[in-house]
Amino acid sequence: MIFNYIKIAFRSLLKNKGYSFLNIFGLAIGITCASLIFLWVEDELSFNESFAKQDEVYYVPTNQNYEGEWRTFYSTPGPLAQDMLDEIPGIVKATRSSSEERLFAVGDNSITRRGRYADADFLDIFSLKFIEGNREDAFVNPEAIVLTQEIAEQLFGKDEKALGKVVRVSNKDNYLVTGVIENLPKNVSFPFSWVAPFERYSEGAQWMTEYGSNFSDTFVELSPEANFETVDAQVRALIGKKADFTDDYAFLHSIKDWHLRSKFEGGEIVGGRISYVRLFMIIAFIILLIACINFMNLSTARSEKRANEVGVRKAMGSSRSRLITQFISEALILAFIAAVFSVLLLALLLPQFNLIIEKDLSLGLTNPIHIVVLLGIAIICGVFAGLYPAFYLSSFKPVEVLKGLKVTHGSASFIRKGLVVGQFTISIVFIIFTILVYQQIQFAKNRELGYDKDQLLSMRIDRDFIPKFDLIQQELIRTGSVHNATLCNSKILSSGNNGSGFRWKGGTDTEDVLLSFRNVTQSFFETTGMEIIEGRGFSNNVEADSAYVLVSESLAKMMGDENPIGNIISRGEDNMEIIGVVKDYVYGDMFDSSDPVLFLHYPNYARFMFIKTKDGVPVDQALSDIEAVLKKHNPAYPFEYTFVDEAFNAKFKNEQLVGELSQIFAMLAILISCLGLFGLAAYTAEQRSKEIGVRKVLGASVSGIVKLLSKDFLKLVGISILISIPIAWYAAYNWLQDYAYRIEINWWIFVVAGVLAIVIALATVSFQAVKAAIANPVDSLKTE
Amino acid sequence: MIQITDLEKFYRTEEVQTIALNKLSFGVKEGEFVAIMGPSGCGKSTLLNILGLLDDPDGGSFMFNGQEVAGYNERKRSELRKHNIGFVFQSFNLIDELTVFENVELPLIYTGVKPSERKKKVEEVLEKMQIMHRRNHFPQQLSGGQQQRVAVARAVVNNPKLILADEPTGNLDSTNGNEVMDLLIDLNEAGTTIIMVTHSEHDAKYSHRIIRMLDGQKVTENILA
């Protein structure tokens, strides 16, 4: 029996090629789209899974209270790790850690890589797999370093063993390679290329030994028997016990939540990327739904063609359930063909998709889970899409259909119209959202930043670079390609260092205000284009300036002083006089207002150099000039740089991703919907061919008939527009609430989306309508 | 074999009620060949649908092989139908997507006959209908006469006790029409009961008895043989 179904399904597919194409293509696009999303979701869910101890490993962030608001930071007091190990029985391993970028050199080979300084427990907590050396002995030597295979091969070559060899770090220290570990996969939250003992980093640092400062990260491993709630409560109480002057507290953040649930508000986890995962899962199902709707519509629309078969089969003794099984089987076969087709589409589209989402997803057809999911999608689509047509078609009475009576369409045509409205509603919501996301990104990108990000290079530097800076700066300017250069302790776009405990005259309760500080050179404001709106900048004399600061506009406002110049800001014993006010600039979250900033003339903490190239100088020439100067003074360092404007664009990654994906999904939703509409229009035209013939004989014009045929479909699109507007508005309103700096939702967006939907629908339908209208009426009239 | 008594069937629209069968009564014995004639709209096809258990009467009695079948539900009717009744339609009603062989095989599939036996039976009947050489063709590739022969083959493949033919020659030229009528005669002579609705006096003459209808009622009944 099943062979009979398959046979008839295939023959029916071949016989109705156009219809089959619309159905298979529509479903295949839907399945492809959903599969892409599922691949992305799989990758998102797999983050950090490469680390063996999934139930035991935790990050230990701290919650700190500023101006009555709890804010969460990954940095913790230095002694916390050891104290947790000593005093909380459920914790069996703990490590301090700090993520740093370092320059590595072996002979002429030099590269910069990010890695971690950490205690020996780190190697156990993350179950690092040693290829050379072993975990137990790796950190016995205080000058040890463990490298990943990738960096070891870069430095020592593929065939050489790295174990026991020396590598020069930051052009001043020698480290002994005591282990080589397997490379970490891409999907880890905190990637690192090397691990070295923490003491090497914290050597002699007072702040590492006391509570009150938060500098290092802390990771712990719980014993498998430990109760999370108990241990977490003990962790939360520990800082208070050790330091009664602070109400900071630490807590446990599971490795399983690092990637998807790491957005904190008021000291609590409120979500994170998981909301994108959920959003895109919903979108995947919606796209599949649209594709299934096509199938339902086209199947029921051409029901007259199948009615006779239903009648004959029933007359021959087929029961209704057999017919239902038959029609669902047909839908399943179609869905399977679509699934196979979608594998081809996936292979074609995945590289492009990877570019957009900046991942390295693979089809993984040998992965049984992928096959099962693909088959699962096909089965769900087949059954879901086939169910309604199956029940509808099998309900035909043989007496009526065999007599050649017209099948009455009452409920079916109503449902079909409803489904078209559903499809177009979804498509229009996507269109509106695409426009809104684009607007929001452009809005933030075009906002007044307070500095000039163009032609601005950013370069990481080490401490030995700082004394040479003045000379390098002069030589850079002398090349003619460079406008100016400066040093700073943090990237312009990032939040950098911050701290509290500042006081000022007239301020009440000011100690818990969190201020960002920038340690800069005199040329900072000129190089970056930041504007000093009051007072003056720094002088050339670092010593003389040590008692002076500049403040950002918002800090001046917060101090409540109409004329902040000359006001004193104090921290501990230090008093600093304000000599200038800098116009507010945007950093950190591009959609938010920024914390107040304090500028100090203290380049010794600098970690970055910024170079502004001159207008009109070609980039290549400027870069080669800069490289020549840097190689001369700093031969050990590779010439590595980033452009600030590129880094700026990268800040919009999440929004850009949502924007681009929503654009793709909008286009696909419309494409699938239009395939369905195209099919429906074709069947309507066919059904009404006699009517059209009669009308033409009686004198109807082509345009009149096109209008007649298109009108009904446009009505449906009109209803879709009305339904989609409140849905889109509500969704957009909620989405925008996440951004402090956001656009207003304009009414014209809805108009644009509506007009677009109408134009697309009209273009789709009119093809069939025109075809029907220009057909010779003699042909349609003699068919009866 | 068949006894209908005071059989009634109405068609209702919102405003009008049409009487399709008006207290119709007659009987058909096993092995008989009965032709039903009458103008369009007299209720012939309605009668045939009820006799074929495709439709339900609104009143009266319908005894089939001694069983009252009026009021049977769809499942029971389908069960009775597939084992006892074969249909021949004016417009053949072959399934376009199935080959000649598969069309004829269909009733056997629904009665659960094993594949090997199905093949034997289908080939036998195709041989008999002289259409074996066309077994792998699709309906559209056949002439009207050939299509109707396939339809007859399909109707008889299950050895039904009763064949209901609804204007079996209506879409055929006279040569092909005569061929189909000869097939029906052969079947009848082999013992199958046949009830045929027709407009053609010529075809009706092949039968044993002609029942003439008007407005849902029997008007005359002529016994020919």
Token pair for A137: 């002995």
What is the rounded CA–CA span in Å between residue A701 and residue A698?
A: 10
DSSP state of A208: G
In 3D, which of A387, A416, A388 has the Cα closest to residue A684?
Answer: A416
Nearest Cα of chain A lies from the Cα of B98 at a distance, in angstroms, of 7
Distance (Å, whole) CA A146 – CA B221: 108
Please, which residues bridge with residue B223 across strands?
B209
> Would you state the pLDDT for residue B56?
85
Q: Side-chain half-sphere of A381: how many Cα atoms within 13 Å?
A: 36
Helices and strands, counts by H and E, chain B: 7, 10
pLDDT at A405 over 80: no
A375 touches chain B (CB under 8 A): no
* Residues A488 and A622 occupy one common structural domain: yes
Are A660 and A629 part of one and the same domain?
Answer: no
Domain match, A104 and A148 both = yes
Determine, for residues A15 and B97 on separate chains, whether the beta-carbon distance falls below 8 Å: yes
Choose the weakest-confidence range: A93-97, A217-221, A259-263. A259-263
What does DSSP say about strands A253-254 and A57-59: parallel, antiparallel, or unpaired? antiparallel
Measured between CA atoms, how close is B197 to chain A, in angstroms? Answer: 14
pLDDT surpasses 80 at A716: yes
Q: How confident is the model at residue A783 (pLDDT cuts 50, 70, 90)?
A: very low
Pair (A428, A510) in one structural domain: no
Strands ordered across the beta sheet of A249-250: A69-73, A62-66, A249-250
Does the distance separating the beta carbons of B74 and A320 come in below 8 Å? yes
A647 in any annotated domain: no
Average of per-residue pLDDT across B145-163: 89
Q: Is the separation of the CB atoms in A315 and A398 below 8 Å? A: yes
DSSP state of A602: -
Q: Is A544 exposed, middle or buried (CB count within 10 Å of its CB: 0-12, 13-18, 19+)?
A: exposed
Among B45, B52, B110, the residue with its CB nearest the CB of A318 is: B110
Whether residue A84 contacts residue A252, with contact meaning beta carbons closer than 8 Å, is answered with no
pLDDT in tens, A519-540: 899 999 999 999 999 899 998 8
Q: What is the pLDDT averaged over residues B158-182?
A: 88
Q: Are residues A104 and A174 in the same domain?
A: yes
Does the pLDDT of residue A409 top 60, yes or no? no
Q: Does B137 touch chain A (CB under 8 A)?
A: no
**Residue A222 and residue A121 in one domain:** yes
| Over residues A112-125, mean pLDDT | 94
The 10 Å Cβ neighbour count of residue A236 is: 14
Per-residue pLDDT, averaged over B37-51, amounts to: 88
Burial of A211 from C-beta contacts in 10 A (0-12 / 13-18 / 19+): buried
Maximal CA-CA distance, chain A: 105
- Residue A7: HSE in the Cβ half-sphere, 13 Å Cα cutoff: 12
For residue A673, which phi and psi values (nearest 5 degrees)? -60, -40
Among residues B126, B131, B133, B89, which one has the least CA distance to residue B108? Answer: B126
Angle at B219 (CA atoms; ends B218, B220), nearest 5 degrees: 105
Could you tell me what percentage of chain A is helix, strand and coil, using 3-state DSSP and rounding each to the nearest 5?
50, 20, 30
Q: Which two tokens stand for residue A523?
A: 């040329």
Provide the number of structural domains found in chain A.
3
The whole-chain average pLDDT of chain A stands at 87
Q: Which of A722, A720, A719, A709 is nearest to A766 (CA)?
A: A709
With beta carbons under 8 A apart, name residues in chain A contacting B58. Answer: none
- What proportion of chain A, given as a percentage, has pLDDT over 90? 40
Mutate to test the interface with B, among A316, A329, A333, A396 (most CBs of B within 10 A): A316
pLDDT in tens, A18-61: 888 888 999 999 999 999 999 999 999 999 999 999 999 999 99
Residue A429 placed within a domain: yes
- Sheet containing A608-613: give its strands across: A482-488, A608-613, A456-460, A642-643
Dist. CA A506–CA A767, nearest whole Å: 75
Q: Per-residue pLDDT tens for A460-481?
A: 887 788 888 999 999 999 999 9
Give the pLDDT confidence of A640-656 residue by residue, as tens digits: 888 988 888 888 887 88
Reply yes or no on whether the pLDDT at A601 is more than 80: yes
Q: Is the pLDDT of residue A784 over 70?
A: no
**Model pLDDT for residues A238-272, shown as the tens digit of each residue:** 999 988 888 889 999 999 999 999 889 888 998 88
Residue A101 has pLDDT above 80, yes or no: yes
pLDDT, residue A84, reads: 94
Q: Is residue A228 part of a domain?
A: yes
The verdict on residue A219 lying in a domain is yes
Please identify, among A198, A223, A258, the residue that sits at the C-terminal boundary of a domain: A258
Tens-digit pLDDT profile for residues B177-200: 888 899 899 989 999 999 999 999
pLDDT tens column, A319-376: 888 889 888 988 899 899 999 999 999 999 999 999 888 888 999 888 999 999 999 9
Say what the pLDDT of residue A541 is. 83
Residue A574 placed within a domain: yes
Which three-class secondary structure state does DSSP give residue B96? coil
> A332 is written with which tokens?
């399943």
Residue A325's closest CA among A744, A9, A112, A547? A9
Question: For residues A421 and A719, is the Cβ–Cβ distance under 8 A?
Answer: yes
Give contacts of A312 with chain B, Cβ < 8 Å.
93-95, 106
Name which of A252-266, A716-730, B77-91, B132-146 the model is least confident about: B77-91
Residue A660 is predicted with a pLDDT of: 84
- Regarding whether A472 and A427 lie in a shared domain, the answer is no
Longest CA pairwise span in chain B (Å): 54
DSSP of B40-91, one letter per residue? Answer: TTSSHHHHHHHHTTSS--SEEEEEETTEE-TT--HHHHHHHHHHHEEEE-TT
Tokens 């700090």 identify what position? A98
Burial track A171-210 (b if 16+ CB lie within 10 A, e otherwise): beeebebbbbbebbeebbebbbbbbbbbbebbeeeeebee
A7 to B93: CB separation less than 8 angstroms, yes or no: no
Segments of A251-390 assigned E as strands: 253-254, 263-265, 268-271
pLDDT of residue B121: 92
- Please check whether residue A64 lies inside any domain of the structure: yes
For residue A509, the model assigns a pLDDT of 53
Inter-chain residue contact A313 with B95, CB threshold 8 Å: yes
> Mean per-residue pLDDT for A129-147?
93
Is A449 part of any domain? Answer: no
- Residues B197-216 have a mean pLDDT of 92
Angle at A439 between CA A438 and CA A443, to 5 degrees: 120
Mean pLDDT of B150-169: 90
Strand A249-250 versus strand A62-66 pairing type: antiparallel
CB contact under 8 A, A15 and B154: no
Residue A782 has pLDDT above 60, yes or no: no
**Token pair for residue B164?**
């209901």
Asked if residues A407 and A400 have their Cβ atoms less than 8 Å apart, the reply is yes
Distance from the A8 Cα atom to the nearest Cα atom in chain B, whole angstroms: 6
Q: Does residue A191 share a domain with residue A76?
A: yes
Alpha-carbon torsion B114, B116, B119, B124, what sign? negative
What is the CA angle A49-A55-A58, rounded to 5? 85
Q: Residue A613: what pLDDT?
A: 94
The rounded percent of chain B whose pLDDT value lies above 70 is: 100
Q: Are A429 and A560 found together in one domain? A: no
Over residues A724-739, the mean pLDDT reads 89
- Kindly identify which residue of chain A lies nearest to residue B96, measuring between CA atoms: A309
Q: Which residues partner with A109 through β-bridges?
A: A106
Domain around A213: 57-258
Residues A630 and A662 in one domain: no
| Residues A347 and A413 reside in one and the same domain | yes
A452 falls within a domain: no
Q: Under a CB-based contact definition with an 8 Å cutoff, are residues A520 and A598 in contact?
A: no
Q: Rounded mean pLDDT of B85-100?
A: 85
Inter-chain touch A317–B154, beta carbons under 8 Å: no
Are A606 and A685 contained in the same domain?
no
pTM: predicted TM-score of the whole model, two decimal places = 0.80
Q: Left (φ > 0), alpha (ψ -120 to 50) or beta: where does B213 sit?
A: beta
Q: Is B179 helix (H, G, I), strand (E, B) or coil?
A: helix
Among the candidates A611, A636, A661, a domain finishes at A636
Among candidate residues A604, A636, A668, the one where a domain is terminated: A636
Question: Is residue B109 less than 8 Å (CB to CB) from chain A?
Answer: yes
pLDDT level of residue A164 (50, 70, 90 thresholds): very high
A/B interface, count of CB pairs below 8 Å: 65
Mutation target for A interface from B14, B93, B102: give the one with most A CBs within 10 A. B93
Interval A190-202: pLDDT, tens: 999 999 999 988 8
How far is CA A411 from each of CA A291, A443, A682, rounded to the nearest angstrom?
21, 47, 20
Tokens found for residue B166: 């609804």
Residues in chain B with CB shorter than 8 Å from the CB of A320 are: 74
